[in-house]
Amino acid sequence: MINLSEDLSIQKLTFADQPELIELMREIYIPAYKHIWSDSGDWYLEQMYNPDAFQKDLDDPKSHYYFVFYEGWKIGILKYSYPESPELVDFPNSLKLHRIYISKEYQGKGIAAQLMKRVESIARERNLNYIWLEVMDTQLQAQSFYRKMGFEWLFTYHLDYKKLRPKYRGIQILRKSLK
């Protein structure tokens, strides 16, 4: 367990955590995003969190995957990797923030900001040049949060997930310079 504050901590995931991870994501992801999927998001969860995909994430030495705890309660996940650059453009020496998901009832408490500060601290300690992430172009609240954290829009592309409703396929790449 890594304590980030008196109330907030993260715990590195192991393969034994896969059933708990997918159950937590059913509780967090489905209510927030079911409207964007033709199947309520079941296909996406299976793609991202099935045992093989999860093991692949854990086996990648660049990948760092955690449960997030607030006041002792498991409330979300954090995943980042470095060095990693987008396929569409090269950001040398960069950290990718893959996922911050927090249970709805814990949003607005500054938890995501604390997690972002942790990720930025790790990137700076490793002398990385950038942090980058992908956010749906329809997720205005998330975009606003990331801009407050110092990220800038670079470009938008479209996902080709068949079960993703067409109006939700736009993905923005945001980047924050650390130099």
User: Looking at residue 83, what is its pLDDT?
Assistant: 86
Average pLDDT, integer, range 144-159: 94
Give the rounded percent of residues in the chain with a pLDDT score beyond 70: 99
pLDDT at 179 over 90: no
Q: For 101-146, write each residue's pLDDT tens digit.
A: 999 999 999 999 999 999 999 999 999 999 999 999 999 999 999 9
Q: For 63-102, write each residue's pLDDT tens digit.
A: 999 999 999 999 999 999 998 777 767 778 899 999 999 9
User: Looking at residue 87, what is its pLDDT?
Assistant: 72
37: β partners: 164
User: Looking at residue 156, what is its pLDDT?
Assistant: 92
pTM for the whole structure: 0.93
Pairing of strands 130-136, 94-102: parallel
C-alpha–C-alpha distance, residues 155 and 72, integer Å: 38
DSSP output for 37-93: BTTTTHHHHHHHHSHHHHHHHHH-TTEEEEEEEETTEEEEEEEEESS---SSS--SS
User: Looking at residue 68, what is its pLDDT?
Assistant: 98
